[in-house]
Structure 1
Amino acid sequence: MKWADNSRERMHNGANAIGNLMVEGFHYLGLFAIGAVTAWASVEAFMDMLDKGRVNVDDILLLFIYLELGAMVGIYFKTNHLPIRFLLYIAITALTRYLIGDVSHHKAPDIGLLYLCGGIFLLALSVLAVRYASYKYPSSKAIDSTGDVVGDNVGN
């Protein structure tokens, strides 16, 4: 029954190769789509600013959000790791943009202002915690672009 084991092994390897191709293809297609949509949105926002003939802090912060999204996609494309700090930075920038827009354009400060400031503060503490944790407890396994473990740094 050696031929059956060889056939099973070839079928298994073929199925793995096709599955990996499909997963990686979807992965790259998704990254390119997210990157393209982010670039499109940032160009559209920039063109709207030019049409308005003026720029305010809200607009600049929106461009920073697009910049961080683009950087996050680029880092994920290169390393296959999602940098959570970038998500936290985007959230901080978004809340700051909302805070500035709310206070400067619409209404007098109320309890919502404290909620926004508290949210920004909690996100800033989260950035601090993530940075400390990655310094104090670095990842014990390096992962290459295919998702395979390439080394074990336990004890270093």
Structure 2
Amino acid sequence: MKINWAEDLRERVHDLAESLGNLFVEGFHYLALFAIGGITAWASVMAFLGMVEKGHISVDDILLLFIYLELGAMVGIYFKTNHMPVRFLIYVAITALTRLLISDVSHHNGPGMGVIYVSAAILLLALSILVVRYASSQFPSEVSAKPRTRRHLVIAQNRAEGDPGES
């Protein structure tokens, strides 16, 4: 019985450390998301103003705006769901490679092996999207509504047994 107070103290310290750790990690995530979202918005506005200043817009410029749009959507999805959408990263890579391909062909005007390599990379990325989509439909991940600590589980168990305990 004398050791019970030490075990209770150890468990409370553990719960406090876990709560503080979760707070710091979530705080960092939100701070980083706001920074990445702000930088993406700022970069897209600056790119658009550069296009307006040039007086004309090329397909390269439009694809660059699509890259910014996909990055912004990825930040928004991560903010709402706390999961990194891998497919959006692949979409960004495909758009960047398409932009590179169009830029290379329009500036060098000569088809070379680089065109084949970039096209093969785009095809490989497109196939990887199919694999990711198939895997996520066949093997969905379990999503919990909210992470529960040991203390929350003990309280829920006590309530189920009829003991109101801590609230």
Q: What TM-score do you get using the length of structure 2 for normalisation?
A: 0.83
- Large movers: runs of 4+ above 3 Å: none
Deviations 1:114-136 (A, max 9, x none): 00000001011111111112122
Determine the structure 1 residue equivalent to 2:132: 130
Deviations 1:82-134 (A, max 9, x none): 11111111100000000000100234111011000000010111111111121
Q: Classify 1:147/1:122 alpha carbon distance in 2 versus 1 (closer, same or farther; 3 Å).
A: farther
Q: Is the 8 A contact 1:80 1:147 kept in 2?
A: no
Determine the structure 1 residue equivalent to 2:86: 84
1:66 aligned partner, one-letter code: Y
Q: Is the 8 A contact 1:58 1:97 kept in 2?
A: yes
Determine the structure 2 residue equivalent to 1:4: 6
State the percentage of identical aligned residues.
64
1: CA distance, partners of 2:106 / 2:83:
38
Determine the structure 2 residue equivalent to 1:116: 118
1:95-110 correspondence to structure 2 within 5 Å: 95-110=97-112
2: CA distance, partners of 1:137 / 1:7:
41
Structure 1 unaligned spans of 5+:
149-156
Q: What TM-score do you get using the length of structure 1 for normalisation?
A: 0.88
* Aligned residue among 52, 59, 62 for 1:60: 62
Determine the structure 2 residue equivalent to 1:152: none
* Higher Rg: 2
2:143 aligned partner, one-letter code: A
Deviations 1:15-37 (A, max 9, x none): 11111111111111111111111
SS in 1 for 2:67: helix
- Which deviates further from its counterpart, 34-43 or 129-138? 129-138
2: CA distance, partners of 1:58 / 1:88:
18
2: CA distance, partners of 1:59 / 1:90:
14
Determine the structure 2 residue equivalent to 1:17: 19
1: CA distance, partners of 2:147 / 2:36:
21
Deviations 1:37-56 (A, max 9, x none): 11111011001001101100
User: Aligned Cα RMSD in Å?
Assistant: 1.3
Structure 2 unaligned spans of 5+:
149-167
Pairs aligned (count): 146
Determine the structure 2 residue equivalent to 1:69: 71
Determine the structure 2 residue equivalent to 1:153: none
Which has the larger share of strand? Answer: 1
